Every structure is written in C-alpha cells, then in structure tokens.
Amino acid sequence: MSQPRDKFIDVQGLRLHYLEWGEPGGEPLVLVHGFLDQAHSWSPFVAALDDLIKQPLWIIAPDCRGHGDSGWVGAGGYYHFPDYVLDLDCVIQPLGVKTVKLIGHSMGGTISFLYTGSFPQRVTRLVLIEGIGPLGMAFSDAPARMEKWIMEVHQRGRRHFRKYSSVEAGAQQLQQTNPRLDAALALQLAHSGMKQSLRGKWVWKFDPLHRTAAPQPFYAAQAIEFLRRIACPVLIVDGAKSHQTQRHDKKERLAEIKDRKQVVIENAGHMVHQDNPQALAKAVAEFLS
C-alpha cells in the first residue's frame, strides 16, 4: 500500500489531523490510537493487513485531539472521553458513508466502544485491542480524584515537557518504555511524534496536560450500558505479555457484549499493533472477512 495522505478537518475550531490510506470506496476501516500514541503508529499493521486482504482497503486513522499533528484544546480547556467521541464522529461524518468498521487500541478502544454504543447501527465490525476501558472507580473516589486533578494542573499544567537532545534520544525512550519495539519503528515514530522547540530541544507533540490525572473517574457501570448497546460482532484482542490481560474486571464487561470473539496475540505486550503487527493483522483479517 502507498504512503498515507495527510488530511485535516475542523471540529468546532479545533484542527484535527488524520491519515488516509487507499482510495475512497465501500466501507472504510477507522483506526483509533491509544493514550500518548499517534496515527502513524498503525503503519506496520496497515502494511501487514494490506498484504493479507486482496481487495482494496480504505483506511482512516485520526490523531486524537492533543496528540500527533492534531490541535490542542484552548486555554482553560481539558480532554474528556466525550470530546474524543465527538471528534471521531466528526471524522466519520464527512466520509459520506452510512457504516464503518472500527478498530481501537487502549484509550482508542474506549473511544470506539463508546461511539459504537452511542450509534449501534453505524458500526458493522468492532475490534478492541486492549481497549475495554480503564479500571472502574467508585462514586466515593470522585472527591479525591477532583482534588488530585486540580493540584496536578496547578503544579504541572502544560509546563511539564520532557526535553531530548535529539530525535534518536526520543526513539531510545520509546524502546525503554516498550522493549519489544523495533528500533527502526521507534525512530520512525519519534520522527513523526516529536517537534523541535525554539531552544533547540526535541519534545513530544502531545499536550503535556495529558500527564495530569483526569478529573472524572471512570465508572464501570456506565461503561457497561454502552457495551450492552453494541449490535455488531466484536473481536477482543489481548497481548500475551500484557499486564492488562489478567485484569480482574474484564469478565464482567465482556459478558455484556452479545456477539464477541477473543484472541490472544503471542509475542506482544500492551502495544500489540507495534509488537506483532503481522499476527494482529492475521486475526483482524479473519474477523473482517
């Protein structure tokens, strides 16, 4: 498949970037990345999927707001799941299609199942890669969470940049965070995911506000109501080496998905699409067919 094209849309004054592979036609496949990740992270998976599926693919991968080449929220703003779901809808609507296939990783999986639960008839296939939502919290956790958020915004806000001497240093950081990450891919992701500051240092493009604790607890009971409304077949993907795979709360949430299939990808941790894109593509190709 050829290199992706850079596209931009306006969402109520916020500029969102997305990558587009292939040519418009048929039902698009939309890929939603995870926390502090970027659309370019899907590139190895897209290449592997293109090798397996012989029919032409039309793939859309947005940079979530505050990530990659998408804009940051304005002064005084913050990032919430409803904002991400609105953005996803604003990416999909101009495509001029009635339905899409949707794949989300981690935070992108949460965005994807919230979208699918909101609009069950718009999604014909859903793949959740390590993406069934954060650990649930109780109502009693809310005051402490609010306090923590306010304190962290005051103390860190947008000032908490990690500065690097070079793009190569950023790539090394990615590999330290994920030792399974291929060196060439790490460098590619650093090139697309970093920018140079006025003082010559390299920083990540994502908004440092993401490093503060979100003010709103994630409530499992609320998530379950979205999962119950999903009407399409769902593929649940876990990495064999991921700490998420053994989560105690997964069974309750998955039980609410009517039509589901589960697969575990070997030689992969949480970043399944980076660690073993070929095995992930094989599982997804079989599911989509």
Which residues have C-beta within 8 Å of that of residue 3, sequence separation ≥ 6? Answer: none
What are the structural domains, with CATH classification, of the chain? Answer: 5-136+219-288 (3.40.50.1820)
Portion of the chain with pLDDT greater than 70, in percent: 100
Q: For the segment 74-127, what is each residue's pLDDT rounded down to a tens digit?
A: 999 999 999 999 999 999 999 999 999 999 999 999 999 999 999 999 999 999
Phi, psi for residue 118 in degrees, rounded to 5:
-80, -35
The pLDDT assigned to 198 comes to 79
pLDDT confidence of 245, banded at 50, 70, 90? confident
Is the pLDDT assigned to residue 29 strictly greater than 90?
A: yes
Evaluate whether 216 touches 223 at the Cβ level (below 8 Å): no
The residue count of the chain comes to: 289
- Greater pLDDT, 244 or 130: 130
Q: What is the pTM of this model?
A: 0.97
Q: Enter the tokens of residue 104.
A: 């989300």
The pLDDT score that the predictor gives to residue 160 is 79
- CA separation for the pair 94, 8 (Å, rounded): 11
